[in-house]
Amino acid sequence: MTALPTGILLPESVIHSDLFALLAAFVAIHTVFYATLALSKILPKVYLSDWVRRRHERTETRSINPEDPV
């Protein structure tokens, strides 16, 4: 297996520069932020009111079909 030479597209001095490192860090943070937003769009919404029962809600059903959820 042959090793790829570094600096094929850009000279090696550009790749090891501080500006390039800053740009790479920006792209990495942007990628993580974008992936988080994409995952939040894919996952179903979570409503806190679905998990917390309040006082005004019935504890048992009064429906004709008693097997329906409350």
Whole-angstrom Cα Rg for the chain: 27
The neighbour count for residue 51, using CB atoms within 10 Å, is 7
- Of 51, 27, 31, 50, the closest CA to residue 39 belongs to 31
pLDDT, position 26: 98
| Residue-level pLDDT, tens digit, the chain, 70 residues | 667 666 678 888 888 999 999 999 999 999 999 999 999 999 998 888 878 877 887 777 778 877 766 5
Instruction: Look at residues 70, 45, 50, 49 and name the one whose alpha carbon lies nearest to residue 60.
Output: 70
Per the listing, tokens 């029962």 go with: 53
Helical H runs in 1-70? 12-15, 18-42
Q: What pLDDT was estimated at residue 33?
A: 98
